[in-house]
Amino acid sequence: MSNPTDTFELDCSVPSFHQERQATSYTGCDIPHDPELVAQGWQFRCNTDHSRLDDVVDTYQELGFEVHLEAVDLSGLSSDCGGCSTMLEAFSAVYTKK
């Protein structure tokens, strides 16, 4: 049994009602990777905000990866995710390449 003062875990699974949404719409939990960057050999790693960005970039660079950052594309974000859009605007998509 969990203690009410324990930190809660965020369930970022895609709700079933999103499975029938338009093909051009996505949730904040399934933001698509940039296909042009992937075609150029970049591998999507994560979306993160400024609080963790430096650590993520430093870690990948220390492991010998080139790092490329992109603003998270919210142009197709589902209207059901309007509450998250302000937060997601501060996120960067992290791509790496060896």
For residue 77, the model assigns a pLDDT of 86
**pLDDT number for residue 24:** 62
Q: Residue 15's pLDDT is what?
A: 47
Locus of tokens 């895609």: 14
Cα distances (Å, whole numbers) of residue 27 to 15, 17, 19, 58: 9, 11, 10, 28
Q: Cβ atoms within 10 A of the Cβ of 67, count?
A: 16
Q: What are the per-10-residue average pLDDT scores of the chain (98 residues)? A: 44 47 69 93 95 97 98 87 86 96
Supply the pLDDT for residue 23.
53
For 75, other C-beta atoms within 10 Å of its C-beta total 6
Q: Phi first, then psi: what are they for 40, rounded to 5°?
A: -85, 5
